[in-house]
Chain A
Amino acid sequence: MPALLKDRHHGTWLLLVLATGITCWVRAGGIVGLAAAAGTLAIAYFKGRLVILDFMELRDAPTIWRAVVEGWLLLVSILVFAVHWFSLAGRVSV
């Protein structure tokens, strides 16, 4: 196994870098619409969860603390996606 992947934190860093690259590649390719938005937010959620579990070390924290922080990320991701979905369908006016 490469030395870079022996430590979980190195692997997390590598995944975060790769995920950043993938979102930018999707955007640079001019991919738009609901699928692109869903992909962008899913990757942001994935990256956020990696930071929460591996960098903030909430993977092994008491369940309530992990649930609150992970719940925040999930709630914000869902709300942002829902409003964006409605806006693409022209259903929201401010």
Chain B
Amino acid sequence: MGAVTATRELDDTVARRLPGDRDVWIFIIAELLMFGAFFVAYIVNRAGQVGLFNASQLTLDRTLGVLNTLLLISSSWAVVQALCVARRNERSAVPRYLGLAIALSLAFMIVKFFEYSAKIEAGLTMMTNTFYMFYFCLTMIHLLHVVAGTVILTVLWSNARRGAYNSGNSKGLETGASYWHMVDLLWIFLFSLLYLLK
């Protein structure tokens, strides 16, 4: 009986595995905590100026926000697929999925560029009011993470083109994927806070 329990515990230990590098996960948690503090700061400030935040939120282009959400969700999916094909040793398919993920992240940046341009042309800047201070600061900090994530995906794509990732070597790919999914996770919450919650 004791042996059965011990075997089950051993199986559980073997089966439960953190994907990617543990140190990068500590970094990811630190990033989540930082953004969590930003989200709480936003909602507390919003609570003090509900009318201003609601009126300013109406000037945001929700269609572009939805489009960017779909782009990041799909980019995350493409990275998951890259990892799946690497684990199945379908090496030639890995750079294709990573290339798709990079293309979708570039599309996110282009949409953001048009969104910022429209706001600035309309005279809306970080100095306009508290809502726009949060809007520009939070989305720009997030955009920096998108840029960093795209650089990481490009390095992974370059490695994948040389056939670097397979069932026996996927830790680097898992690490980059975990960071990219964090970028997606943060956007999902940011989109709901800035564009939808009122």
A contact residues vs B (CB 8 Å cutoff): 7, 9-10, 12-13, 16-17, 20, 23-24, 27, 32, 36-37, 40-41, 43-44, 47-48, 51-52, 54-57, 60-63, 65, 68-69, 72-73, 75-76, 79-80, 83-84, 86-88, 92-94
Contacts and interface: CB of A to CB of B under 8 A. Distances in A.
A51 B181 contact: yes
The majority secondary structure among interface residues of chain A is helix
Q: How large is the interface on B (under 10, 10 to 19, 20 to 34, 35 or more residues)?
A: 35 or more
Contacts of A52: 185
Contacts of A7: 84
A86 B94 CA distance: 48
Given A51-B188, A75-B36, A9 B81 contact: yes
Contact of B18 (A62, A79, A92): A62
Contacts, number: 125
B43 interface: yes
Contacts of B16: 60-63
Contact of A40 (B45, B50, B192): B192
17 contacts: A7-B84, A10-B77, A13-B77, A37-B197, A48-B189, A55-B177, A55-B181, A56-B178, A57-B174, A61-B18, A63-B16, A76-B189, A79-B43, A80-B39, A83-B47, A88-B50, A94-B44
Interface in B170-198: 174, 177-178, 181-182, 184-185, 188-189, 191-193, 196-198
Contact of B196 (A9, A23, A79): A23
Interface string B55-79: 0000000100010011001101101
Given A52-B185, A87-B46, A94-B48, 6 more contacts: A9-B77, A20-B66, A27-B196, A51-B76, A62-B16, A92-B44
Nearest to B16: A62
Interface stretch (B3-11, B25-33, B141-149): B25-33
B196 A40 contact: yes
Contacts of B80: 9, 54-55
A84 B197 contact: yes
Contact of A86 (B17, B47, B197): B47
Contact of B15 (A47, A60, A79, A94): A60
B197 A93 contact: no
A37 B192 CA distance: 10
B32 A72 contact: yes
Interface string B76-114: 110111001000000000000000000000000000000
Given A55-B181, A65-B18, A13 B74 contact: yes
Contacts of B49: 94
Given A41-B192, A56-B19, A61-B19, A69 B69 contact: no
